[in-house]
Amino acid sequence: MSNQEVYRALAEPVGLPGPAALCTVVRTGGSVPRRAGAKMLVYSDGQTVGTVGGGELEARVIAHAHEVAQKRESALITVPLVDPNKGDAGVCGGEMDVFIEPVLAEPTILVIGCGHIGREVAALAKWAGFRVAVTDDRVEFCGPEHVPEADIYLPGAIPEALAGFEITDQTYIAAATRGVRTDVQALPHLLRSPAAYVGVIGSRRRWSVAVQELQDLGVPDEIIGRAHAPIGLEIGAETPREIAVSILAEIIAERQGRDGRPMRWHAPSLVI
């Protein structure tokens, strides 16, 4: 069986129903149903593309694949096929090593508000390798003429524009809006979504006003607490481009599970 279906499925990771895993036979010994190089893609909803041999062997690989997808850590497993009475997966007489790696949806930065800062965030995010989606209720600001770097344009009233946009755990949201009213309209939906990051621009005072209005709407504090506000790392940024650097730096740190501290703080102290 060819691996072409697997390759085609991997070429479109954006629409993944959740974290998936790619299983590749990397070594075989003795009699086995598939040889090295055979691949299978396992989705979070149980669907598969390709095969590594079928039967109990494949069922065990699929179980490991779900673990890898959830933990997002690659694994190398050995599946013996000799004696089912000893717990082996079959009686073919051989064994195979299968390398399993997580496959995640393409990381996306959703920029809400395409003013000076939002426009720079979109440009920098695209340069850094993210898929970029932008939305603005000012239609003339939400198009390729104004933000040429974006992949997806969602013009119009922001709550309605976002209603049809799929937010996953690989979505990072930068809300660079014009004011509290827009924030409060969008944030209940965004903060309850599986987004990996929701950042909101503005001063501490502006954010405190937004928090009060969200509480008045009945949004629980634990949900509000998901927001990174004010957005970005404290680097003394002033210009739109500098602020975009601050925002993207925090997003990258969040994505990598880092705290954004200076690298020298992690280095051994110099003893003289």
- Contact between 69 and 19 under an 8 Å Cβ cutoff? The reply is yes
The span from the CA of 166 to the CA of 24, in Å, is 30
Please state the pTM of the whole predicted model: 0.78
pLDDT of 244 reads: 97
CATH T-level assignment (fold) for domain 108-256: Rossmann fold (3.40.50)
Separation of alpha carbons 66 and 113, rounded Å: 37
Instruction: Count other Cβ atoms within 10 Å, centred on residue 18.
Output: 14
Which sign does the torsion angle of CA 195, 196, 202, 205 carry?
A: positive
List pLDDT tens digits, range 97-110. 999 999 987 899 99
Transcribe 46-63 into DSSP letters.
S-EEE-SS-HHHHHHHHH
Tens-digit pLDDT string for the chain (272 aa):
578 999 988 887 555 667 899 999 999 888 878 899 999 999 988 889 999 888 888 899 999 999 999 888 999 998 887 666 666 566 576 888 999 999 987 899 999 999 999 999 999 999 999 999 999 999 999 999 999 999 999 999 988 999 889 898 899 999 999 889 889 999 999 999 999 999 999 999 999 999 999 999 999 999 999 999 999 999 999 999 999 999 999 999 999 888 888 887 776 665 55
Please give the pLDDT value at position 192. Answer: 95
Instruction: Indicate the domain borders of the chain.
Output: 4-103, 108-256
Q: What is the pLDDT of residue 270?
A: 57
User: Which pLDDT does position 271 carry in this prediction?
Assistant: 58
Report DSSP letters for 109-135, one per residue.
EEEE--SHHHHHHHHHHHHTT-EEEEE
**Residues 24, 19: Cα–Cα separation, whole Å:** 17
CA distance 266 to 132: 32
Which tokens go with 116? 């000076």
- What is the edge-to-edge ordering of all strands in the sheet holding 20-29? 48-50, 39-42, 20-29, 94-103, 75-81
